[in-house]
């Protein structure tokens, strides 16, 4: 059969009614009182032909700005990176894109091995020995890290830097409300966490300190100094949200003594696609292995001694006693995790470092060219691939003018940081060419005056 979906005829409808033992649709719903049933017709468009429907949907789709026709300097958590063509070839295989949770290892070895490889690569990038099989996105992973820290330390106060992604902080607040965890946000100073303000809040009631590396403004947080402050309080944990691409060049948070490292692998093999879905990762130390949310895939041997993989150490309440569960996270992002695994494997260890270096070099070239035309770059710490610049007018107006030129501008920081009105967060990835950067700078110069 050639159908991509199965049409339902009147004959099909009658056969189904007969099968369930009723003569009409009215009889099927007879148990529902007539006074609570909807009377009339729903406010929907009239049915149309397939040809007309396709044309209407295509017209709607063409209104979207896509990254093939527009040059994007928008980051703030979703980035336009190189995606090897092999990624789509692998994730388009039906055995992967139709696979459900691999509960039956005897028929799910391919899926299980793919997840195991993902865990292994995340472990290498973060410098921590344990990584789970993925989570919904970076924000969810960070919120789960916060609740884990509170549960493990039996403390109900968490310090979160204001340099952490605003949306991630919102997710943390949502999680914390149900767990009765007090969230205290720590101010920033020159684009990084204010260490003096952090020190003033740190005491023996704090479960964890949450920072981002590189942070929301692209600045590299001083993890070594942060860890020294945190270690002054016994049991307080260090939680780091990190861009895994940056870890191809920067020292892994695990090397600084981070207890939990989370983030989003959208930077590897997952297109921007209007903001989702993404793929979160969660890495930690061995002592927290049995409290990791979601699930882990472990390597074992079968009865013949052959290498094999199984789901193991699942902390979800579906699999263990509810009162012993540490999380009710429902699933993982296996297909997106596979995309990230294929991308990382294709790019390779040395290629990943080179890719990270290109991001850093091109961002610095952007900063240099902007400085040359008098556009002020704020914050003066080491940075990865994002910079913050200040303008003499509203960023929304600037972005509208850029869009008319075929350019998607940076993130308007005034939307989430009132003190940063007229400030733009600009992302420069490895696929931005010198010509694109020069054009962007020229257009900004013309608008800025």
Both 386 and 406 in one domain: the answer is yes
Q: What percent of the chain has pLDDT over 70?
A: 95
pLDDT, mean of residues 155-163: 97
Q: Is 206 strand, coil or helix?
A: strand
For residue 138, give the CATH number of its domain. 3.40.640.10
Both 403 and 327 in one domain: the answer is no
**CB distance 217 to 425 below 8 Å:** yes
Both 338 and 376 in one domain: the answer is no
Both 201 and 316 in one domain: the answer is yes
Task: Calculate the average pLDDT of the chain.
Answer: 92
Last residue of a domain, one of 303, 322, 343: 343
pLDDT in tens, 48-59: 888 999 999 999
Whether 56 is in a domain gets the answer no
Both 185 and 239 in one domain: the answer is yes
Nearest to 221, CA basis, from 211, 210, 231? 211
Whether 65 is in a domain gets the answer no
Beta bridge partners of residue 110, listed in sequence order? none
Q: How confident is the model at residue 1 (pLDDT cuts 50, 70, 90)?
A: very low
Both 335 and 374 in one domain: the answer is no
Q: Who has greater pLDDT, 311 or 399?
A: 399
Whether 279 is in a domain gets the answer yes
Q: How confident is the model at residue 219 (pLDDT cuts 50, 70, 90)?
A: very high
Both 130 and 199 in one domain: the answer is yes
* Statement: residue 240 has pLDDT above 90: yes
pLDDT, mean of residues 256-285: 95
Q: Who has greater pLDDT, 104 or 207?
A: 207
pLDDT, mean of residues 116-144: 96
Task: Dig out the tokens for 2 from the structure.
Answer: 């050639």
Whether 9 is in a domain gets the answer no
C-alpha 268/C-alpha 279 separation (Å) is: 10
Task: Dig out the tokens for 354 from the structure.
Answer: 């080179």
Last residue of a domain, one of 343, 364, 398: 343
Task: Dig out the tokens for 290 from the structure.
Answer: 């049995």
Both 177 and 309 in one domain: the answer is yes
Both 109 and 254 in one domain: the answer is yes
Query: Is 257 exposed, middle or buried (CB count within 10 Å of its CB: 0-12, 13-18, 19+)?
Result: middle
pLDDT, mean of residues 172-193: 96
Last residue of a domain, one of 301, 320, 343: 343
Cis peptide before 22 (omega within 30 of 0): no
DSSP code string of 299-360:
EEE-TTS-EEEEEE---BTTTS-GGG-SB------HHHHHHHHHHHHHHHHHHHHHHHHHHH
Beta carbons within 10 angstroms of residue 376's beta carbon:
13
Beta bridge partners of residue 212, listed in sequence order? 241
Whether 399 is in a domain gets the answer yes
The total number of structural domains in the chain stands at 2
C-alpha 42/C-alpha 19 separation (Å) is: 28
Unique residue bearing structure tokens 């990254």: 67
Q: How confident is the model at residue 233 (pLDDT cuts 50, 70, 90)?
A: confident
Both 92 and 155 in one domain: the answer is yes
Beta bridge partners of residue 412, listed in sequence order? 424
pLDDT in tens, 336-379: 999 999 999 999 999 999 999 999 999 999 999 999 999 989 99
* Statement: residue 179 has pLDDT above 70: yes
For residue 425, give the CATH number of its domain. 3.90.1150.10
Beta bridge partners of residue 299, listed in sequence order? 309
pLDDT in tens, 321-341: 666 666 767 667 889 999 999
pLDDT of residue 3: 58
pLDDT, mean of residues 228-249: 95
Whether 170 is in a domain gets the answer yes
Task: Dig out the tokens for 415 from the structure.
Answer: 């939307």
pLDDT of residue 99: 82
* Statement: residue 130 has pLDDT above 70: yes
Whether 206 is in a domain gets the answer yes
Q: In which domain, by residue range, is 175 found?
A: 86-343
* Statement: residue 316 has pLDDT above 80: no
Both 326 and 363 in one domain: the answer is no
The β-bridge relationship of strands 157-161 and 182-186 is: parallel
C-alpha 157/C-alpha 403 separation (Å) is: 44
Whether 60 is in a domain gets the answer no
Task: Dig out the tokens for 39 from the structure.
Answer: 């009377």
pLDDT of residue 319: 60
Q: Who has greater pLDDT, 190 or 328?
A: 190
Both 117 and 250 in one domain: the answer is yes
pLDDT of residue 50: 86
**CB distance 330 to 342 below 8 Å:** no
């Amino acid at each position: 059969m050639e159908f991509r979906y199965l049409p339902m005829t009147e004959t099909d409808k009658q056969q189904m009614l007969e099968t369930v033992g009723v003569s009409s649709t009215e009889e099927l719903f007879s148990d529902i009182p007539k006074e609570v049933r909807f009377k009339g017709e729903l406010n929907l468009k009239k049915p149309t032909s397939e040809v007309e429907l396709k044309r209407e949907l295509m017209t709607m789709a063409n209104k979207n700005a896509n990254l093939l026709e527009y040059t994007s300097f928008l980051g703030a958590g979703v980035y336009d990176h190189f995606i090897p063509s092999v990624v789509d070839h692998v994730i388009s295989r039906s055995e992967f894109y139709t696979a459900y949770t691999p509960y039956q290892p005897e028929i799910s070895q391919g899926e299980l091995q793919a997840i195991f490889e993902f865990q292994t690569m995340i472990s290498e990038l973060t410098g921590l020995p344990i990584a789970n099989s993925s989570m919904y996105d970076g924000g969810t992973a960070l919120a789960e890290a916060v609740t884990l820290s509170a549960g493990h330390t039996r403390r109900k106060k968490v310090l979160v830097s204001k340099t952490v992604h605003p949306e991630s902080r919102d997710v943390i607040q949502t999680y914390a409300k149900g767990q009765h965890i007090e969230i205290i946000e720590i101010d920033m100073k020159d684009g990084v966490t204010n260490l003096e303000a952090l020190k003033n809040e740190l005491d023996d009631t704090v479960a964890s300190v949450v920072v981002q590396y590189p942070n929301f403004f692209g600045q590299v947080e001083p993890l070594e100094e942060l860890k020294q402050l945190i270690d002054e309080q016994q049991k307080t944990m260090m939680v780091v949200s990190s861009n895994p691409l940056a870890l191809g060049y920067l020292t892994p948070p695990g090397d600084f003594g981070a207890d939990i490292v989370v983030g989003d692998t959208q930077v590897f093999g997952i297109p921007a696609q209007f903001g989702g879905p993404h793929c979160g990762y969660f890495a930690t130390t061995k002592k927290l292995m049995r409290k990791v949310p979601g699930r882990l895939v472990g390597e074992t041997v079968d009865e013949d001694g052959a290498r094999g993989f199984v789901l193991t150490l699942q902390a979800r309440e579906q699999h263990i006693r509810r009162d012993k569960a540490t999380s009710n996270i429902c699933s993982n992002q296996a297909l997106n995790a596979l995309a990230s695994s294929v991308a990382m494997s294709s790019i390779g260890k040395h290629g990943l470092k080179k890719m990270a270096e290109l991001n850093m070099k091109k961002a610095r070239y952007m900063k240099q060219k902007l400085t040359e035309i008098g556009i002020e770059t704020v914050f003066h710490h080491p940075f990865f691939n994002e910079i913050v610049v200040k303008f003499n007018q509203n960023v929304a107006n600037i972005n509208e003018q850029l869009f008319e030129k075929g350019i998607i501008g940076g993130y308007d920081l005034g939307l989430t940081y009132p003190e940063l009105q007229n400030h733009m967060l600009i992302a420069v990835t490895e696929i931005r060419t010198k010509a694109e950067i020069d054009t962007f700078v020229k257009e900004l110069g013309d608008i800025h005056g």
